[in-house]
Amino acid sequence: MNFHLDARLEQDTLPAGRLELCEIHLLNDARWPWLVLVPQRSDCSEIFDLNDDEQLQLARETALISKVLQKLTEAEKINTGALGNIVRQLHVHVIARFENDANWPGPVWGFGVAEPYSKVAASRLISQLQSEMKSHVF
């Protein structure tokens, strides 16, 4: 399979798992629990560039990751989005939002400066995510 993660996504995220269609990455920004799903397909920038089956699989995996993140963080609201104005490789954001978070109720994209996790905090969160993902029948 000729799939390579975009260099900017590689730089800004930490690997957090893999599902049937998507790689799962944790955005390295401790301001929000924020996951990025990247379908392992080349040359797709819009969701409708995927074939019909892949589009539905992406919807299933986005819902799964949303539920996992909601359960783990007890977020007030999950935000999902596929923008891609800067990084054109198709990717879907799933973000846990809280009423006291850095830019509530505004969007997270482009806001301020990322605050990287400590190695310990990132490792702990990824471990929790993977444990929660395994516990969901999929």
Q: Which of residues 95-124 bind its own copies (CB under 8 A)?
A: 97, 104-107, 109-110
Least Å from the CB of residue 135 to its own copies? 15
Pairing between strand 13-18 and 22-27? antiparallel
Nearer to its own copies, 49 or 115 (CB): 49
Select from 66, 96, 117, 126 the one that contacts its own copies (CB under 8 A): 66
Are 61 and 43 in contact by the 8 Å Cβ rule? The answer is no
Select from 16, 37, 58, 126 the one that contacts its own copies (CB under 8 A): 58
CA angle 132, 119, 31 (to 5 degrees): 70
Spatial CB neighbours of 5, under 8 Å, sequence gap ≥ 6: 23, 25, 38, 89
Nearer to its own copies, 75 or 126 (CB): 75
Structure tokens at 120: 């310990």
Q: Does 78 bind its own copies (CB under 8 A)?
A: yes
Select from 15, 81, 112, 116 the one that contacts its own copies (CB under 8 A): 81
Nearer to its own copies, 15 or 105 (CB): 105
Torsion of Cα atoms, 32 then 10 then 90 then 18, to 10°: -80
For residue 93, the cross-strand partners are 36, 81
Site residues (CB under 8 A) for its own copies?
45-48, 55-56, 58-60, 62-63, 66-67, 70, 76-86, 88, 97, 104-107, 109-110
